[in-house]
Amino acid sequence: MAAAQGHFSDHSDGDRGTGETADSTEANAVPPAFRRAVEALRAARLRPEIEVDPTRPPQRLAPYAYAVEAAVVDGEEDLADGRLVLLHDPDGHEAWKGTFRLVTLVRAELEPEMAADPLLPEVCWSWLTGAMDARGLAYGEASGTVTMAGSHYFGGLAERRPATQIEIRASWTPREGLGGVPDTGAHLAAWCDLLCQIAGLPPVTVEPGEAGTVSGAGVVSLPQRRGPQQD
């Protein structure tokens, strides 16, 4: 399993927010609750099919942000990919109803016939909430969209098969625990469960208390999937 990585991003002044690894000066300026939340993300243990890389966090959504991007990899093929951003506002945010917010984008390419299922968007949304419910995670103010887009190729690209991409954009407020810190490591693992689910991988189960991945029982993976095509 791979440990997560990412960046601190302190946007509280004009000199920071570059997305580079925090130095000791910046780390001292970061609120302790946010620092601990990021440390929990960095310590998360994920399925070996998941590759996690640091990515530049958004600049103006919150005073503090941390971001990772991940892909479900089968050989040289990406079956699904996405980005997860942790936002923190020490003063709280009315819309979040908390001081932390998780924002995500997940996408995968499907076989065209899969898009014919009119319930597919509802199923994909249930995979997100089900992944968190399966881990017993408390959260609130969940919102988002599920979008399907089809592509047909012509001319010099006519030999390509039609493609359908599904995209999940979502955000939710993780319940804050001891010291006002949410269990961000478990939320990251649940998000990776969603990535594996949409990629069509079989679920795996972990022993109680293990900080690995677990998929909800009875949730059906996509029987057919194809990794996003490269331009």
| pTM (2 d.p.) | 0.77
pLDDT at 175: 94
Distance, in Å, from the CA atom of 134 to the CA atom of 58, rounded to the nearest integer, reads: 29
The mean pLDDT of 86-101, rounded to a whole number, is 93
Please state, in angstroms and as integers, the Cα–Cα distance from residue 67 to each residue in 34, 139, 201, 207, following that order.
13, 19, 24, 28
Q: Tens digits of per-residue pLDDT, 3-58?
A: 554 444 444 333 333 344 444 445 558 899 999 999 999 988 888 889 888 899 88
Distance, in Å, from the CA atom of 177 to the CA atom of 184, rounded to the nearest integer, reads: 10
Short-list 99, 80, 84, 77, CA closest to 166: 80
Q: Tens digits of per-residue pLDDT, 100-156?
A: 999 999 998 876 666 667 788 898 899 999 999 999 999 999 999 998 887 777 888
pLDDT over 90 percentage in the chain: 41
Q: Give the contacts of 186 (CB within 8 A, at least 6 positions apart).
A: 44, 135, 137, 211
Lowest mean pLDDT among 11-25, 86-100, 193-207: 11-25
Handedness of CA 69, 74, 75, 77 (dihedral sign): negative
Contact 24, 44 (CB under 8 A): no
Q: Counting runs of H as helices and runs of E as strands, what totals does the chain give? A: 4, 8
